[in-house]
Structure 1
Amino acid sequence: MRRRVVLTGWFSFADGEATAGDVLALRRVEEVLDAAGIDHDTVWSPGFRPDALHLDAVRPYRYTELVFVCGPLHGPQVADLHRRFAHCLRTAVGTSVIDPESAAVTGFHRLLPRDGPALDSVRDLSARAPDAGARPVVGVILTHGQQEYAQRRRHDAVAALTTRWLLGKDCARLELDTRLDIHDWRLCATPAQLDSVLARLDLVVTDRLHGLVLALRAGVPALVIDPVEGGAKVSAQARACGWPALVAAEKLDVPRLERWWDWCLTSGRVSARQIRAEFLEGTARDGADALVAMMTGHSEPGAGRPGRLLGSGPQS
């Protein structure tokens, strides 16, 4: 029978899990088998890779060897592999040995563990896994609130379409919140902490006004969706900042998201840095300038539209 290897791990079990370390360890094993010209198939959990080869569909008689990659050697799921692939030469590589006498361990013909009782520790397989290259790091800042917009709210539909689309993008997604909290370790406690996170991103996807402004303040392009039908503060702020990557709730679709995604990760990088520089220069007037002018009685004709609005009430 022609030599053929079936690769398994905790990423193979229906109720198992695929960690980044496990998958990188697998990639390292696949790399060395390919280099050696050894045919192999990988078994995946249907919950992680629905269209891949699953244990239920594996025909054990097609294989001469089984290799179990990474993770701890324990439990009935690992032990059951010895029964199902009883005719195969079975090897465990890059694994942790908890109990050397357990059936999960003793069922293997060969062990190449990374650690265990009375064993020297060996560097994990993930350390030498092939480098697949960097992916964009994307901060996602969405809101389900803003009830003040009543019937014009499209927040839930915007979030649903946007997150479903993001799920298919090959990027590292980081859910963020502009809300500060000194008690919740998952949230930033100061604006400086959030600024530090934003500055390390490649892109921000947001339907929040401050998601837009704080991204540009950090020099990071923002793909912005206004979740209010007809446009509201998000659209107004995009105009005020001169930022074009804006999609209206009623026009939100995948082609528009894709177009602005591509722009943000190319030309948008330069535009975001230019706007950050403008922010730092502080040459554009804002409400604070108008406030001081109003309070000191030095309002200039036509200056500070917010000042005129605030000053339009009854006079004492």
Structure 2
Amino acid sequence: MELLFLGTGAGVPAKLRNVTSIALKLLEERGAVWLFDCGEATQHQILHTSLKPRRIEKIFITHLHGDHIYGLPGLLGSRSFQGGESRLTVYGPKGIKEYIHVSLSVSRTHLLYPLEVIEIEEGTVFEDEGFFVEAKELDHALPTFGYRVVEKDKPGVLQVDQLKERGIQPGPVYRQLKLGESVKLEDGTELNGEDFLGHSIPGRVVTILGDTRVCSSAVDLGRSADVLIHEATFNRDQEEMAREYFHSTTKQAAETASDAGAKLLFLTHISSRYAKESWEELEREARDVFPDTYIARDFMEYVIPLKK
């Protein structure tokens, strides 16, 4: 489970920060990549990484401002040209279906893979045996969502030593016990798989927010998250401007992380008004409130460690 920041800027592309896109690499967990937002030139950013567009399984759009969606039609088309054949699902606010349909239709782009577009509301927008994704509406100038990605707890490790002490050798029985099933041996002994499993392994939580003012939904989504990714368009002295433009400051992002009890905070969606020389200061502003803060940079990667 790894994060790859493809674009960390706000509004318009800049030389050192492209507009918003974040990849959540789930290659070990499900052999796939999930993308969050797809600003202009996201596919160009991907060219500088090892990420393969055909691996992209899901795209979660936070809102329909251009710096979050203008790269989407191009990426969808290129994925087809580059051998993508597996289903891709796009989630986003009302209007995302029309935007994609019109873009592909007018440009006569024909996809060689099944595309599903789901217009979401608050609540669980995806769930399977390994993950679920919850969405809540934030406070922005148009409908905007934040996403909470939850990895479900994994079963504990099979206690092989205990089985061998009882004379039970590796084989199909081990597989059944690892699944927590009950097994009857040839001598009539019955074993309960749960008796031979260690403690379950807690899943990880990643919260990725769209553009937003300070709001309770952001805190709810970030509750006890292993990683919270929060926009910080302005520095701490620009609270009035942040409110006027429906954004947040570095200090406000840090306060949200603190209120949520998150473990780690990444600041993103940095305004181009802040030159590279200012980035460390922006990071320090947030760290005064929430010490475990890092300002994201394009192509930064972070491996989310397994819990014990």
TM, length-normalised to structure 2 = 0.27
Q: Which has the larger radius of gyration?
A: 1
Greater fraction of residues in strand: 2
- Larger helix share, 1 or 2: 1
> Relative contact order: is structure 1 or structure 2 higher (C-alpha 8 Å, sep ≥ 6)?
2
Q: TM-score of the superposition, structure 1-length normalised?
A: 0.27
